[in-house]
Amino acid sequence: MNYLIDLRSDTVTLPPPEMRQAIAAAELGDDVYGEDPTVNALESLAARMLGKQAAIFVPSGTMANLLALMGHCSLRKRLLVGDLSDIWRWEAGGASVLGGLVYHTLSTRPNGELSLEDIEAAVYGHEDFQCVPAGLICLEDTHCLCGGRALSLEYLAQVYQFGCDHNVPVHLDGARIFNAAIALGVSASQIAAFADTVSVCLSKGLAAPVGSLVAGCIPFITQVRRLRKMVGGGMRQAGVLAAAGIYALEHMVNRLAEDHANARLLAEKLARIPGIQIDPEPPQTNIVFWTLADQGLSSKYFMYALQNHGVHVAELGKGKIRAVTHYGITAKDIECAVGAVRSVLALGRSALSRTMDESMPSAVMAGSD
Asked if residue 164 lies in contact with residue 187, where contact means CB atoms within 8 angstroms, the answer is: no
According to the model, what pLDDT value does residue 353 have?
61
According to the model, what pLDDT value does residue 127 have?
80
Asked if residue 15 lies in contact with residue 327, where contact means CB atoms within 8 angstroms, the answer is: no
Percent of residues, the chain, with pLDDT higher than 90: 86
pLDDT exceeds 60 at position 186 = yes
Q: What is the pLDDT of residues 284-331, one digit of tens each?
A: 999 999 999 988 888 888 999 999 999 999 998 888 999 999 999 999
Question: Average pLDDT over the chain, rounded to whole?
Answer: 93
According to the model, what pLDDT value does residue 34 have?
95
Q: Would you tell me which CATH number, out of the four given (3.40.50.300, 3.20.20.70, 3.90.1150.10, 1.10.340.30), belongs to the domain 5-10+255-366? A: 3.90.1150.10
Q: What is the pLDDT of residues 151-175, one digit of tens each?
A: 999 999 999 999 999 999 999 999 9
88-104 average pLDDT score: 94
Q: What is the DSSP letter of 145?
A: T
Reference 202, options 191, 188, 216; nearest CA is 188
The 3-state DSSP class for residue 200 equals: strand
If pLDDT is split at 50, 70 and 90, which confidence band does 365 have?
very low
pLDDT exceeds 70 at position 360 = no
- Of the listed ranges 240-244, 307-311, 358-362, the one predicted with least confidence: 358-362
We find that the CATH architecture of domain 17-251 is 3-Layer(aba) Sandwich (3.40)
According to the model, what pLDDT value does residue 268 have?
97
pLDDT exceeds 70 at position 178 = yes
According to the model, what pLDDT value does residue 363 have?
41
77-106 average pLDDT score: 95
Asked if residue 43 lies in contact with residue 233, where contact means CB atoms within 8 angstroms, the answer is: no
The 3-state DSSP class for residue 219 equals: helix
Q: What is the pLDDT of residues 107-131, one digit of tens each?
A: 999 999 999 999 999 999 788 888 8
If pLDDT is split at 50, 70 and 90, which confidence band does 250 have?
very high
According to the model, what pLDDT value does residue 297 have?
85
According to the model, what pLDDT value does residue 128 have?
83
What's the predicted TM-score (pTM) here? 0.93
pLDDT exceeds 90 at position 238 = yes
Task: List for the chain the helix, strand, coil content (%; round to 5).
Answer: 45, 15, 40
257-277 average pLDDT score: 97
Q: What is the pLDDT of residues 55-85, one digit of tens each?
A: 999 999 999 999 999 999 987 899 999 999 9
Domain extent listing, the chain: 5-10+255-366, 17-251
According to the model, what pLDDT value does residue 349 have?
60
Cis peptide before 222 (omega within 30 of 0): no
